[in-house]
Amino acid sequence: MNIIVLVKQVPDTSEVKINRETNTLIRDGVPSIINPYDRYAIEEALRLREKHGGKVTALTMGPPQAAEALKEAVSLGVDDVVLLSDRAFAGADTWATSYAISMGIRKIGQYDLIIAGKQAIDGDTAQVGPETADMLGLPFIAYIRKIEKVENNTMVVERLMDEGYDVVETALPCVITVVKEINEPRVPSLKGKMKAKSLKVAPWSAKDIAADESKLGLKGSPTQVVRIFPPAPRGQREMLSGPLEEQAAAVVKKLKEQSLI
C-alpha cells in the first residue's frame, strides 16, 4: 500500500505571541514544528505500512527550510519525501496550495491513499485536504478517527461527528484527513534521526511538477481576506437520553422552567 502524507511546517503556536496593535501573530524567532495534526497522519500511515507493507511518502509545499519538517518525518520512519519549493509558489492561498500539491502528487504517480491532518494550527482552514482531493478527482472523507479495514481497494473508516460517528466505506485511492483521536503518535527512532540528519532534500520546482504558472502563488489565489472575527458562540446544548416519554417530559419541564411555554 503506497501512502502519501501531506505535512505542513507551522510556527509552534504554544510559543506564538499576538501583536496587540495589529492583532497578527508575531512569528519572528518562533520555532517551527510539524503541524501537530499531521503527526497523527504520519503515524497512521506508518501503522498501515506495518500492517499492509508498501511505502510512505511525506509531501510538503513551503520555503526551503520546510525540509526540516520532512526530515522529522523521516526520523519518524517515512520512506521518502517530496519538497515543493519555488518562488512561484509564494503567497499561495489554500486553493493555489492545493493545486501545487495535487500536481506534486500527480508526479509521484503511484498511490493508494493520501492522508492529511484535519487542519493546520496556523491557518485553521481545513481546506487543503478536500481541495486536493477535488483537484485529483478522488473521494474525500474528513475527520477520520479510525481506519477499520483496508481490503480489495476499499477502505472502511469511522468519521468523527459532533455527536457520535459515521461508518463510511470508500473506494481507493482516496484522500482522508484525520483527527487526534485516531492514534498516539510515536517518537522518532535513533536510526531514523541519523538517517534524517544526513538526508539532502532536493526540492521540486513549478516546472518539475508541470504546473500552470497562472494557477500558482499569489496570482493563482482567489481568496481575499475581508475581515477576521471570532464566530458567535454556539448556545448551550444538552443531550437527553432514556425512554422517549421521559425525554419529552424533561423537555416540557425545561421549557416551563424557562417560562417559554
For another protein, the binding residues in 122-161 under the rule CB under 8 A are: none
Collapsing DSSP to helix, strand or coil, 58 comes out as: strand
* Minimum gap (Å) between residue 185 Cβ and another protein: 8
Residue among 18, 194, 199, 255 that touches another protein (CB under 8 A): 194
* Minimum gap (Å) between residue 190 Cβ and another protein: 4
Instruction: Note whether 187 binds another protein by CB under 8 A.
Output: yes
**CA distances from residue 76 to 116, 123, 160 in whole angstroms, order as listed:** 16, 25, 26
Residue among 21, 163, 190, 228 that touches another protein (CB under 8 A): 190
Residue among 52, 180, 186, 215 that touches another protein (CB under 8 A): 186
Residue among 191, 207, 254, 256 that touches another protein (CB under 8 A): 191
Exposed/middle/buried for residue 43 (C-beta within 10 Å: 0-12, 13-18, 19+)? buried
The strand ranges marked E within the chain are 2-6, 9-11, 17-19, 24-26, 32-34, 55-61, 80-84, 113-117, 140-151, 154-160, 165-171, 174-178
* Minimum gap (Å) between residue 244 Cβ and another protein: 40
Instruction: Note whether 188 binds another protein by CB under 8 A.
Output: yes
Q: Measure the CA–CA gap between 131 and 191, rounded to whole angstroms.
A: 35
Other CB atoms within 10 Å distance of the CB of residue 84:
23
* Minimum gap (Å) between residue 156 Cβ and another protein: 26
Instruction: Note whether 195 binds another protein by CB under 8 A.
Output: no
